Amino acid sequence: MPQLTEIRWHARAGQGAVTAAKVVAETALAADKYMQAMPEYGPERMGAPIKAFTRISTDPIEIHCNIEYPDIVIVLDDSLLDIVDIAEGVHDGGVILVNTCTPPDQVKTRLGVNDSVRVASVDASGIALDTIKRDIPNTPMVGALIKLTSVIDMDVFKGLLAKNLSKKFGQEMIDANWASVDRAFAEVTVA
């Protein structure tokens, strides 16, 4: 049977969710998988709540609609927990990963999801500020995602990250991004 993984990203415009969805898709392609990545387009205003979607599969992907029943939900901004139903449609046994300082058990209680859903917290913004020196949480969030699921490969991801960054930045920036990925991988906690 085809193995299809569906990821829904929640973020505020400008946080890099679309870029992250794209890099995750490229990482999947590098492992010879099929993938799809698309933002839900609307009026583009910095800070507005947005969604983006990534599908990864062992077989060609034929569906061309939004993801309503995700396997994985990634939230780049925890202020969205108050205004968006980020847990909507999440599968039993699914994963919700939030960029937050709040411990995962508290996030889980607040979301009111059933026990089979794994809820994870990581302070990706804090890590990004320490390493990349800017609040761009998308890259460390992928590091945490890799810890929680085997949907993409860490080495392939880091390789692509370096390749993409090297177009505009030097080794220092690549090292900072790698450090952010490693720290999020190490620091993410699950309830």
Partner 1 sequence: MAEHKTLATTGNSVVAEAMRQCKPNVMAAYPITPQTTIVEEFAGFVAKGRTDCEYVTVESEHSAMSACVGASAAGARVMTATSSQGLALMWEELHIAAGMRLPIVMANANRALSAPINIHCDHSDIMGARDTGWVTFFAETAQEAYDNTIMAVRIAEHPDVMLPVMSTLDGFITTHSIDRVDVLDDASVSGFVGEYRPKNPLLNTEAPALHGSFAGLGGPFFEFKRQQREAMESARTVIKQVGDEYAQISGRPFDVIDTWGMDDAETAIVVLGSTAGNARHVARELRAQGEKVGVVKVRVWRPFPYAELAAALKGVKAVAVLDRAESFGAEGGPLFLETRSALYDAEARVPVVGYIYGLGGADVRLELIERVYQDLSDIAAGGVAPGSLVYLGAREEA
37 binds partner 1 (CB under 8 A): yes
CB nearer to partner 1: give 32 or 115: 32
Of 41, 93, 133, 166, which one interacts with partner 1 (CB under 8 A)? 41
The answer to whether the beta carbons of residues 148 and 95 sit under 8 Å apart is: yes
Of 66, 109, 166, 171, which one interacts with partner 1 (CB under 8 A)? 66
3 binds partner 1 (CB under 8 A): no
In angstroms, the Cα distances linking 80 to 77, 83, 85 are 6, 5, 8
115 binds partner 1 (CB under 8 A): no
68 binds partner 1 (CB under 8 A): yes
In angstroms, the Cα distances linking 111 to 67, 69, 93, 96, 100 are 19, 16, 15, 10, 14
Query: Going by DSSP bridges, is the β-strand pair 118-122/49-57 parallel, antiparallel, or unpaired?
Result: unpaired
Of 11, 17, 38, 161, which one interacts with partner 1 (CB under 8 A)? 38
Instruction: List the structure tokens of 142.
Output: 């992928």
| Number of shown-chain residues binding partner 1 (CB under 8 A) | 20
Q: Smallest distance from the beta carbon of 175 to partner 1, in angstroms? A: 25
Instruction: List the structure tokens of 85.
Output: 């139903």
The one segment of 58-66, 104-112, 123-131, 141-149 that binds partner 1 by CB under 8 A: 58-66
Interhelix angle 154-165/171-187, rounded to 10 degrees, is 150
Q: Smallest distance from the beta carbon of 66 to partner 1, in angstroms? A: 5
Say which amino acid occupies 139: T
Q: Which residues sit at the interface with partner 1, rule CB under 8 A? A: 21-22, 25-26, 29, 34-39, 41, 60-66, 68
